Amino acid sequence: MEEMKKQVGSTTALFGLVTGPLTLASHLRGTRFFMDMIKNKDYSKALISYTTKVAKIMSGMYIDAGMDVVAIVDPVISQISPRMFYELLGASFSQLFARIRDQGRFSSFFVCGDATKNIQPMCNTKPGSIFVDENVNMHAAKKITGASGIILGGNIPLTSVMLYGTQQDNMKYVIDLIDEIGRKHLIIAPGCDMPYDIPPANVVGVIQALAEPRKVRKMLEDYRVEEMDIDVSLPDYSKLDHLLIEVFTIDSATCPACGYMKSTAMTATGEFGHAVRIIERKWTDRENIAIAKKLGIKHLPCMLFNGRIQYSSLIPSKDEFFKDIHEFLSRMDEKGE
């Protein structure tokens, strides 16, 4: 990072990304931590206190390396309630952002998934900016962040636009977003980590739209985005003799919230055996995007039971998950009789 600062630091702001307290606690404890937060609050608070100390140390290291913005990256925030945020995490984030401010750096709060319900709690911790992905309505979010004087960043869709779209699609998304919510207190950015194979031309298109919005707006006057036209077949859910659990993710290998949703789903195989089958449908695959649209899926990650959305941007506890499966299988048995 020090080398990057030497090479481009005079013209480019550099971000140092710190794993946030909740996500680090989830990495250390696994999906059990979501149950701990409900049933073992003393342990949860102790672990969050520890991961907050780690985040403070990492923030200091990034500042010493010359980073201009220190971002606390906590994608799992979208998976908890505002009440849980206030009880368990509010003070930790407030301390982190105050510490970064006191050391003369800008701060940012990165979150993935449908974090709409937690935008206000996040604002209350006073970060310099909040970055969200395509699961969040930017117009609604900017009303909240703007009222708090906080910059909003996001939220170019990673796969449907950046990976599979044309250069014009990317330009249009940027221009439409600017026209909808204005440029004040706004940073246009990818919704999260960009997939590996994004065409460089698409990134160039985004930069051009930001640098020359009037010229690009004129260029796109008659341009229409073509819908992804893929003919996909859905399973015949009504005739399944087992419970099919479909986990729709951006990519469980790179998105922590998606990874925890998938890990939760996988626990069902040990408990229910052949009565349950699990499939991950990543949005890095065009066909899965088409399937999601056909099923009416609007937010990721989410989990479906035989074609019906069971959990959307909310990771269930193990007890709740198993209880819901038991009930679903019982209903299937009753219909079979």
Please provide the distance, in angstroms rounded to a whole number, between the alpha carbons at the two ends of the chain: 64
Distance CA 183, CA 175 (A): 10
Cβ-based neighbours of 113, under 8 Å, separated by 6 or more: 75, 78, 79, 133, 135, 257, 299, 300, 301, 313
Cβ-based neighbours of 134, under 8 Å, separated by 6 or more: 154, 155, 156, 157, 158, 191
Q: What share of the chain is helix, strand, coil (3-state, %, to 5)?
A: 55, 15, 30
With CA atoms as reference, report the closest residue to 18 among 104, 100, 98. 100
Distance CA 321, CA 186 (A): 38
Cβ-defined contacts of 97-104 (< 8 Å, 24+): 97/72, 97/125, 97/126, 97/127, 97/128, 98/126, 99/56, 99/59, 100/59, 100/63, 100/70, 101/126, 101/128, 103/60, 103/63
Cβ-based neighbours of 210, under 8 Å, separated by 6 or more: 174, 188
Region(s) of the chain under CATH 3.20.20.210: 2-156
Tell me what pLDDT residue 336 has. Answer: 65
Whether residue 48 contacts residue 80, with contact meaning beta carbons closer than 8 Å, is answered with no
Hey, what's the torsion of the CAs at 244, 250, 253, 258, to 10 degrees? -60
Q: What topology is assigned to 237-336 in CATH?
A: Glutaredoxin (3.40.30)
Distance CA 208, CA 201 (A): 10
Distance CA 112, CA 123 (A): 15
Distance CA 161, CA 136 (A): 16
Tell me what pLDDT residue 2 has. Answer: 85
Region(s) of the chain under CATH 3.40.30.10: 237-336
Q: Which helix (H) or strand (E) holds 87?
A: none
| Amino acid sitting at position 6 | K
Whether residue 47 contacts residue 54, with contact meaning beta carbons closer than 8 Å, is answered with no
The structure tokens listed for 212 are 């020359």
Count Cβ atoms below 10 Å from residue 46 Cβ, excluding itself: 12
Count Cβ atoms below 10 Å from residue 253 Cβ, excluding itself: 12
Count Cβ atoms below 10 Å from residue 287 Cβ, excluding itself: 13
Whether residue 165 contacts residue 209, with contact meaning beta carbons closer than 8 Å, is answered with no
* In the block, residue with structure tokens 């065009």: 286
The structure tokens listed for 273 are 């055996």
| Rg over CA atoms, the chain | 21
Question: CATH number of 2-156: 3.20.20.210, 3.20.20.70, 3.40.50.11540, 3.40.50.80?
Answer: 3.20.20.210
Tell me what pLDDT residue 235 has. Answer: 92
For the chain (337 residues), the mean pLDDT of every run of 10, in chain order, is 89 96 95 88 97 98 96 94 95 98 97 94 98 94 97 93 93 96 94 87 95 94 82 91 94 87 94 95 90 90 96 88 96 77
